[in-house]
Amino acid sequence: MYLLARFLSLEVYLPSASLPTTEDTLPVGVRDEVHQETRNAVKVKAERCVQIERTLHHFNTDMGRMSNYATDADISIVLKLYENALAAIQQLKDKYASNLRTSDTQR
């Protein structure tokens, strides 16, 4: 989650394929507006990820106690979700590793 917090302070370029419309069909001023709206949406979602991570951190103490009562199936579901979330975060980190390294050297 440290990387997500760092990501919030970065201005990472998103490829045009991730924008709702193609750049060729938009005037320059509108392109900048769409790009800024996209950046704002990304930042809001990343902030929400950080909030969820903090909540999950507090949940970990309860997880230890719940292991006394929960079934194997219940814990397996939670474990699989955690593993999937971790894999998704790692993929995102790997995808933007060069951007993160560049921003670290520019500070």
Q: Indicate whether 5 pLDDT > 60.
A: no
Whole-number Cα distances in Å, 5 to 25, 33, 72, 96 = 34, 24, 33, 14
What is the C-alpha to C-alpha distance for residues 44 and 61, in angstroms, rounded to an integer? 28
Please report the pLDDT score of residue 36 as a whole number: 83
Q: What is the pLDDT of residues 16-74, one digit of tens each?
A: 455 455 545 555 566 777 788 888 999 999 999 999 999 988 888 888 888 899 999 99
- Tell me which of 91 and 107 has the higher pLDDT: 91
